[in-house]
Every structure is written in structure tokens, then in C-alpha cells.
Amino acid sequence: MSVLVKGYNYLLHGMAICAGIVISVATLLIIIDVLMRITMMDPLLFILTTVEYSLLYFTMFAAPYLVRIKGHVFIDAVTQFFPPAVKKVVAKIVYLACIIGSLVFCYYLTGLFLEAFDSGEIDMRSFEIPMWVLFAPMPSCYFMCAVEFTRYLVGIDDMYDQKLTERESA
């Protein structure tokens, strides 16, 4: 396995671990906020904004890993009845559409990130944070999703290699 592939895999798994940490911290912050409200204490103002940002980062960090492990949502209600040759062609079309969609998002989000970085715009809520921080994880994560769908397209893996019952039991 090449150094590039190994490094990419470490990055992918590291982002998944970060996603787990981020969602755990967000859950803890929500629990603290609710307990403070129940006990009639003034909740900490930064919690809501922090949880909103953390949900964005959680989603972006987890997405490429979920594509890798086939944990994303996809519908095979129609394709399960296709003959294997037709199923393979339809799968390639789906992979290509996913790659194109991911790269389009990556392109436009890169533009938004650079624009926000150049403008120095600030997102003002309970605390101020540069707007580019919102866009920071998005381009690379959509690019990584495109890489993962490319793995399916070139035949390294296949989204449709499991039966529905196998996926549900996993």
C-alpha cells in the first residue's frame, strides 16, 4: 500500500474519530444546558452556538467515512430486482453522479471559503467567529466523498455488494 493511500486512510479514520469526539462533546453540552435550565440557572450563552457549529463539523468529518463503510443513505429498492449486468451499469451511473455532485459542492464551497477568508466577515452570535471557520471543513470533506465514490466507480469496492438484509443486520 502506498504512503499516499496509507496517509489518506489515516486521515479518513482520524476524521471519523474527531466526528465521534465532536458529537460526544455536543451531547454533553446539551445535557449541561438542559440541567441548568431545569435547575433555574442561567444557561451558558455559548452552548447553543457551539452545538450548532459542532453539528456542522460532525457532519463534515463523518461523511467520507460513512461513504467508505456504506453507512450513508442509499436506496436500492429498484436495483435489487435488476439483472447483475444492468445493476452494474446503473451503479456506475450512480457513482458518477455522486462524484460530480460532490465535486460541484467542493468547487462552490471552496469559493465561499476563500470569499469569507478574504472579506474577514464575522459570524456574530453568542460569540464572534470568522465566517470562514464555518466553511473550513466543507471543501475537503466533499472532495474526500468524491474520492470515496471514485473507489466504487473504479471497482475497489461496491456499494451494492451486500443484500438489504445483510446491511440491516450489520
* Bridge partners of residue 130, in order along the sequence: 122
Tell me the per-residue pLDDT of 58-75, one tens digit each, with 9 for 90 and over.
999 999 999 998 887 666
Cβ contacts of 79 within 8 Å, gap of 6 or more: 87, 90, 91, 160
Which three cell numbers mark 86? Answer: 444492468
**C-alpha 121, offset from chain centre:** 25
Q: What pLDDT score was predicted for residue 170?
A: 53
Query: Which of the two residues, 5 and 168, has the higher pLDDT score?
Result: 5
Question: From CA 108, how far away is CA 59, in angstroms rounded?
Answer: 18
Full-model pTM = 0.85
Query: Which of the two residues, 116 and 127, has the higher pLDDT score?
Result: 116
Question: Once rounded to an integer, what is the mean pLDDT over residues 7-30?
Answer: 96
